[in-house]
Amino acid sequence: MQATDPRPSLKAPDMTNAFAPRILAAALLAASSATAFAHGDEGHAPKHTTFDASKVEATAFGQEGDPKKVTRTIRLSMADTMRFTPSEFTVRRGQTVRFLIHNDGNVLHEMVLGTPDDLKAHADLMKKFPEMEHSDPNMAHVKPKANGEIVWQFTQPGKFEFACLVPGHFEAGMVGKLTVQ
């Protein structure tokens, strides 16, 4: 007859197959929630405030601009009618522009600079993940009755856009035209 050890087994049962998908999903949710904030959250995404030339990334429509090298200021307003005023403008290639943005509305709006394809893809992503939040140099999230700012250097000629990508706003036509000559 074989003796039985009265101590509990220290070997964990093999549950990797049953729980692996749940553990992975929980880990991904925890990791994403550490960097994601509700898109309409009062705290919203922190806007970086210090220009660092070593961190500037070139895009198809330009790059973050040095606030000390601004050559033009453009004032824009956003409204709950899902429109920007002005809704289009032209800048010169190489120009560094400071956009001073005012939200005249009663809901959160944002201004995001980009190519038409990039803005459409980003708007689609926001529809799928409305809680996703981000803060990049080409965007300003502006609370109701508040102001925001973008400083951007337009390094490439072409036809670009700016849009509000809060879910539903882009689809409602909150898009403007930008020409770089």
The pLDDT, as a whole number, for residue 126 is 81
Q: Domain spans of the chain?
A: 53-180
Radius of gyration of the chain (CA): 23
The answer to whether residues 177 and 87 touch, using CB atoms and an 8 Å cutoff, is yes
| pLDDT tens figures, 136-177 | 899 999 999 999 999 999 999 999 999 999 989 999 999 999
Q: How far is CA 68 from CA 3, 4, 71, 87, 148, in A?
A: 82, 79, 9, 26, 18
CATH number for the domain running over 53-180: 2.60.40.420
| pLDDT tens figures, 29-49 | 333 333 333 444 434 444 556
Confidence of residue 132 (pLDDT cuts 50, 70, 90): confident
